Amino acid sequence: MSAWWRHRRPRPPLDHRRIRDRALILPIVGLLLLMPPIAGAFQIDLRLAGVPFTAVYLFVVWAALIAGAAVLTPSLSALAEEPWRVDAPRAGEGSDAEV
Amino acid sequence: MLSVDLLLLVCLGYVAVLFALAFYIDRRARQGRINWLRSPIVFTLSISVYCTSWTFYGAVGSAARNGLEFITIYLGPTLVFVGWWWLLRKLVRVGRVHRITSIADLISSRYGKSSSLAVVVTLLAVTATTPYIALQLQSVTRSYQVIVGEADANTTALTIAAGMALFTILFGTRNLDANERHHGVVAAIAVEAIVKLVALIAVGVFAVFWLGGGVRSVFESVPVAAVHGGAQMFDGRWAALTFLSATAIICLPRQFQVTVVENVDERHLGTASWMFPLYLFGMCLFVMPIALVGLAVLPAGSNPDLFVLTLPLHHGRHELALLAFLGGFSSATSMVIVAAIAVSTMVSNHIVMPVALNFLSSGREVSGDVRKLVLTSRRVSIGLVLGLGFLYFRLSGGSDALAAIGLIAFVGVAQFLPSLLGAIFWRGATGSGALAGLVVGFVLWAYTLFLPSFAGELAGGADLLAHGPLGLTALRPQALLGLTGLDPLVHALVCSLGANVLVFLVVSVASEPKPLERLQGALFVDVFRSTPGEPPRFVEGQATSEDLFVLAQRILGTDPARSLFDEMAREQGASGLPAPSDAVIARLERELTGSIGAASAHAMVSRIAGRERPALNELIDIADETQRLIETSRQLSEKSAELELAASQLRQANERLRTLDAQKDEFLSQVSHELRTPMTSIRSFSEILLGENGVSEQERHRFVAIIHDESLRLTRLLDEILDISRLEAGSVDLPLEPVDAQQVIDAALGTVSGLLRSRGVALRCTPLPAGTMVRANGDRLRQALINLLSNAVKYNAAPHPEIRVHAALGPAHLDIDVIDNGGGVTPEEATTVFEKFNRGRRGDRDQGAGLGLPISRAIMRTMSGDLTVEFAPDRTSFFRLRLARAVVATGTAAASTH
């Protein structure tokens, strides 16, 4: 695909909104895959190496969520960089600018 | 069989290690050397206090009975944590900014620092936590009994409860940390978290690879349906359980304590977002295999809730059984400790302290060390909470009904959810709404879930469940309003939480928030937008600094209070005590909030600082609602200014269009007038000729000559009109080239020389230096010159007409002046002479259409030059042609010859 959007004017601080919106992906995907309508489709009488397929499915989705969170966290944490350290010197509090 | 002595020894040794660790960490923390404790891993491990003995033992039991359903309890928290950015982060930030000490403190603080709300939340938390603590006592007691054989359950439970109370009091109330943080406790439960994970995995590995013979053989012997735990495992109950556990990870007082209150760095939340689900994943991985192996290997009728312990015990692996026991012990104790701290903080801050303060202030003056009072009340509360737990355990007789208490407690604390979400996401939420929703949800929870859980053991309880109170079947606890066919848990959840949300919404919308609520609402909801620092507050100040200092001293202790006041004085640049400004009072209240909760701190500071003024205007001023209004109106006025500008530009454009339109009309009418005159004479003369009567040959000849002349004039006029309109429209492409100016002037003079001679006009011409080149179109320049010259001749009525052509070289241009002595034009006429069809006062109709000058000027402008009327110092006027010089051309020509 030619990916026309790649050619748009580059916006230097890879827009915060896009990073932030990524944080929505995991809970929503997790909810869809683990909740009744869709998850029901994976409750089948099948075994993978002896283990019932449903159990494998649940743990695989779970592991994928964890991996996804581990991948997304660095960029999100960088966004949340405002240092609200508890025991930071109090006099400096006013200079901790908000995003 | 393990000996009692050994077990006791191991237990005591383990507890001693925990005490020592907590003691060591606390000491280091006070010396400020706990940087390694501030790691996200410790934070994550402390969150795993979520996994109680209900997880450690109960999950296997649940898996043995209901298959994979137990996973829902861990999927909910996983979803919440992978979506940490949207909810948990905001909770933690709010907790940090407003020095929140508990969930009751958060809700009360948000809804106008309401103490009644705090009391309700506290009571609800105590009610939901007490049986949960009892459950932990029970599980430790049972596991103890399993190992050592029969032992007095009450003594065991009492010993454990007392030990936990001691630990909690020692390390939970060592000092009044202004931030309500307990480093020693956190370190201890982090260690316990590792112990329980290792223990469960060790038992799992033992069960699967020693007893079960590998993963395949463990699963192969059981039907798939047993693992599914039902024909339709992803049903309403599945969704409800996941939702419940997601709610619990936010609303359980102990989870709130470790996630929000004990958090030292917001970014740890990011790491926990995947590490905590990973921890849960590890805890769950072996649950199902252990259950299956236990069902297969252990004698029929064994309690699946204790498989984790009985599996190794049954096979003589005593060291593993001991590890499993320690794992269960760790799960139970860490839950009890944190829950006791969390709930006792609420009880102390929101129930005991207000009563005590009221009692004290009704005496003479506030006397005594309040700080000591706070600590005492905290300790008493811990004893109270654990005592209640033990009492519940004792009264329920350690029945199996306790096993279900985990989920019951979850539904109970789920009642906090609407108020909590409303607190940080909805400005419109009011205290009355939160209070009404909580009370309704609480009552329905107690009636539909809590009561039925032990109703069987009450007199008439079974009857109540079956037929409803007084035989009113519509009010049956497990089928409210005839809502049957639902799982009892789902039924209770839907009823209580549904009613809670509904009442919360309706009452919030219907009620008017108090000013303080409105302010707090803005501060909480927009916590990421407000500048970090103290939330503003306004009191009418008659406070004296001495009073405030005494207050701070009593609650924070002498030294912390002194250093706080010194710091504030330094910030003000004052020596001694700081002036009681709003900032000082707000700061003090915030510091006190960390110790005694928002409602109490607010009440105490307000009492000393003077009557609070409910100045609606001021409060709304600072609530950034107004800020936003100002911003909006600023943007609006900017926009309207822009619109006005655009409108005035449009008006100007319109004006110009009108003028142009009028000029066009005028031009057209002039053109038609000009065309009409020759046309009329042509027509009338040709009519005479057509008449044929009495027209002599000579006359006929004359008439035809007139017709001919007029036609010529007409043609010339049309040519000129065409020419000027093309020139003015810019559609004539004049090729510009370097031309010799003198040659053009000579050619033009040659053309008009006949005319000059016939009129006897004298001509004087200053010659230019040879080779003066200009950028122009030679023919057109000549046309313009001829035009000027012939005008000068034709309109010259002087007795001795004279024309001077004077060319002057400028640095970049050439001026050709055409000067005549015919009287010139007045300054007023100087602009009108260039209008079309203007013949000037000197002209008459025979001498041209009045297009000569406009055409000449258009020609000059097309060649990037100009034609203007200039005035000499003696006020006589002359025409000046200005052209750009073609300097380069001569230069390059000269260069190329070398």
Residue B543 pLDDT > 70: no
Rounded mean pLDDT of chain B? 80
CB contact under 8 A, B277 and A27: no
pLDDT at residue B400, as a whole number: 62
Residue B628 pLDDT > 80: no
Which of these ranges, B341-345, B755-759, B886-890, has the smallest mean pLDDT? B886-890
- At B608, is the pLDDT very low, low, confident or very high (cuts 50, 70, 90)? low
3-state secondary structure of B878: strand
Residue range B250-266: mean pLDDT, rounded: 88
Residue B260 pLDDT > 50: yes
CB contact under 8 A, A80 and B79: no
Please report where in the chains the tokens 């010659």 appear, as a residue: B767
pLDDT at residue B497, as a whole number: 93
Q: At what angle do helices B88-97 and B416-425 cross, to 10 degrees?
A: 70
Which of these ranges, A13-27, B833-847, B852-866, has the smallest mean pLDDT? B833-847
pLDDT at residue B195, as a whole number: 93
pLDDT at residue B203, as a whole number: 92
Look at chain B and count its residues: 898
Q: Residue B333's closest CA among B145, B199, B191, B155?
A: B191
Question: Under CATH, which number does the domain B625-729 receive?
Answer: 1.10.287.130
- Determine how many CB atoms are found less than 10 A away from the CB of residue B638: 10
Residue B845 pLDDT > 60: no
Q: How far does CA B396 lie from the centroid of its chain?
A: 50
Phi and psi at B485, nearest 5°, equal 85, 0
Contacts of B224 in chain A (CB under 8 A): 45-47, 52, 54
One-letter amino acid for residue B33 of the chain: R
Residue A2 pLDDT > 50: no
3-state secondary structure of B383: helix
Whether the CB of B288 is below 8 Å from some CB of chain A: the reply is: yes
- At B232, is the pLDDT very low, low, confident or very high (cuts 50, 70, 90)? confident
Residue B416 pLDDT > 90: yes
Distance CA B878, CA B818 (A): 6
Token couple for B292:
């299956």
Contacts of A50 in chain B (CB under 8 A): 215-220
CB contact under 8 A, B232 and A43: yes
Higher pLDDT, B317 or B612: B317
Rounded (10°) CA dihedral B162, B163, B169, B172: -130
Question: Under CATH, which number does the domain B4-414 receive?
Answer: 1.20.1730.10
Contacts of A30 in chain B (CB under 8 A): 75, 78-79, 82
Whether the CB of B233 is below 8 Å from some CB of chain A: the reply is: yes
**Which contacts (CB < 8 Å, 24+ apart) does range B633-641 have?**
none
Rounded (10°) CA dihedral B347, B349, B353, B357: -150
Q: What is the DSSP letter of B839?
A: -
pLDDT at residue B201, as a whole number: 93
Whether the CB of B181 is below 8 Å from some CB of chain A: the reply is: yes
Per the CB < 8 A criterion, the answer to whether B827 and B661 are in contact is no
**Considering Cα of B502, then B506, then B508, then B511, what sign does the dihedral take?**
negative
Please report where in the chains the tokens 């960029």 appear, as a residue: A75
Locate the chain B residue with the closest alpha carbon to A85.
B265
Please report where in the chains the tokens 């500048």 appear, as a residue: B531
- At B529, is the pLDDT very low, low, confident or very high (cuts 50, 70, 90)? low
E strand or H helix at A52: strand A51-52
Residue B836 Rama label (left phi>0; alpha psi -120 to 50; beta):
beta
Residue range B386-410: mean pLDDT, rounded: 77
Locate the chain B residue with the closest alpha carbon to A40.
B234
CB contact under 8 A, B93 and A84: yes
pLDDT at residue B630, as a whole number: 62
Please report where in the chains the tokens 């005492």 appear, as a residue: B376
- At A8, is the pLDDT very low, low, confident or very high (cuts 50, 70, 90)? very low
Residue range B29-36: mean pLDDT, rounded: 71
CB pairs below 8 Å between A and B: how many? 144
Residue B506 pLDDT > 80: yes
Please report where in the chains the tokens 């309401």 appear, as a residue: B114
Higher pLDDT, B531 or B327: B327
- At B76, is the pLDDT very low, low, confident or very high (cuts 50, 70, 90)? very high
3-state secondary structure of B766: strand
In degrees, rounded to 5, the angle at the alpha carbon of residue B114 between the alpha carbons of residues B110 and B120 is 100
pLDDT at residue B544, as a whole number: 65
Q: What pLDDT digit, counting tens, does each position of B770-790 carry?
A: 778 888 888 888 888 888 888
Residue B889 pLDDT > 50: no
Residue range B402-407: mean pLDDT, rounded: 73
- At B193, is the pLDDT very low, low, confident or very high (cuts 50, 70, 90)? very high
Residue B270 pLDDT > 60: yes
Locate the chain A residue with the closest alpha carbon to B80.
A27
3-state secondary structure of B284: helix
Which residue intervals of chain B bear CATH 3.30.565.10?
737-897
Query: Could you give the percent of chain B with pLDDT greater than 90?
Result: 14
Q: What pLDDT digit, counting tens, does each position of B698-718 carry?
A: 888 888 888 888 888 888 888
Residue B505 pLDDT > 90: yes
**Best mutation site among B224, B233, B292, B588 for testing chain A: the one with the most A CBs within 10 Å?**
B224
Distance CA B773, CA B884 (A): 9
**Best mutation site among A32, A33, A66 for testing chain B: the one with the most B CBs within 10 Å?**
A66
pLDDT at residue A44, as a whole number: 79
Q: In 3-state terms, chain B is what percent helix, strand and coil (to 5)?
A: 70, 5, 25
In degrees, rounded to 5, the angle at the alpha carbon of residue B826 between the alpha carbons of residues B822 and B832 is 105
CATH architecture for residues B737-897: 2-Layer Sandwich (3.30)
One-letter amino acid for residue B302 of the chain: S
Residue range B840-845: mean pLDDT, rounded: 50
Phi and psi at B125, nearest 5°, equal -65, -40
Residue range B261-279: mean pLDDT, rounded: 88
CB contact under 8 A, A80 and B235: no
CB contact under 8 A, A23 and B529: no
Which of these ranges, A30-34, A53-57, B724-728, has the smallest mean pLDDT? B724-728
Higher pLDDT, B287 or B168: B287
pLDDT at residue A15, as a whole number: 62
Which of these ranges, B288-302, B542-556, B731-745, has the smallest mean pLDDT? B542-556
Residues sharing a CB contact under 8 Å with residue B617, sequence separation 6 or more, in sequence order: none
Beta-strand relationship, A47-48 and A51-52: antiparallel
Distance CA B231, CA B891 (A): 101
Contacts of B93 in chain A (CB under 8 A): 84
- At B614, is the pLDDT very low, low, confident or very high (cuts 50, 70, 90)? very low
E strand or H helix at B738: strand B737-740
Token couple for B643:
């619109």
Distances in whole angstroms, Cα of residue B811 to Cα of each of B609, B629, B740, B742? 83, 62, 17, 17
Q: What pLDDT digit, counting tens, does each position of B459-500 carry?
A: 666 777 777 777 676 777 777 776 777 788 888 898 899 999
3-state secondary structure of B812: coil
Half-sphere exposure of B783 toward its Cβ, with a 13 Å CA cutoff?
19
CB contact under 8 A, B532 and A82: yes
Residue A3 pLDDT > 70: no
CB contact under 8 A, A35 and B234: yes
Whether the CB of B265 is below 8 Å from some CB of chain A: the reply is: yes
Q: Where are the alpha helices (DSSP H) in B776-845?
A: 778-794, 829-832
Q: What pLDDT digit, counting tens, does each position of B121-171 carry?
A: 999 999 888 888 888 888 888 888 888 876 677 787 788 888 888 888 887
The residue ranges of every structural domain in chain A are 14-80
3-state secondary structure of B867: strand
- At B364, is the pLDDT very low, low, confident or very high (cuts 50, 70, 90)? very low
- Determine how many CB atoms are found less than 10 A away from the CB of residue B567: 14
Residue B512 pLDDT > 60: yes
Q: Residue B218's closest CA among A60, A55, A63, A61?
A: A55
Which residue intervals of chain B bear CATH 1.20.1730.10?
4-414
pLDDT at residue B751, as a whole number: 84
Distance CA B200, CA B423 (A): 38
CB-CB: which of B83, B236, B271 is closest to A23? B83
CB contact under 8 A, B267 and A77: yes
Contacts of A57 in chain B (CB under 8 A): none
Q: What pLDDT digit, counting tens, does each position of B87-132 carry?
A: 888 898 888 888 888 899 899 888 888 888 899 999 999 988 888 8
CB contact under 8 A, B216 and A49: yes
Per the CB < 8 A criterion, the answer to whether A44 and A54 are in contact is yes
Q: Which residues pair with B802 in a beta bridge?
A: B762
Higher pLDDT, B529 or B741: B741
Shortest Cα distance from B288 to chain A (angstroms)?
Answer: 9
Token couple for A69:
């969170």
Residues sharing a CB contact under 8 Å with residue B73, sequence separation 6 or more, in sequence order: B55, B59, B241, B245
Shortest Cα distance from A35 to chain B (angstroms)?
Answer: 6
Rounded mean pLDDT of chain A? 69
Q: Which range is most confident: B406-410, B551-555, B623-627?
A: B406-410
Shortest Cα distance from A29 to chain B (angstroms)?
Answer: 9
CB-CB: which of A30, A51, A70 is closest to B215? A51
Residue B186 pLDDT > 90: no
One-letter amino acid for residue B397 of the chain: G
Contacts of A73 in chain B (CB under 8 A): 270-271, 273-274
Query: Could you give the percent of chain B with pLDDT greater than 70?
Result: 86
Which of these ranges, A46-60, B583-597, B778-792, has the smallest mean pLDDT? B583-597
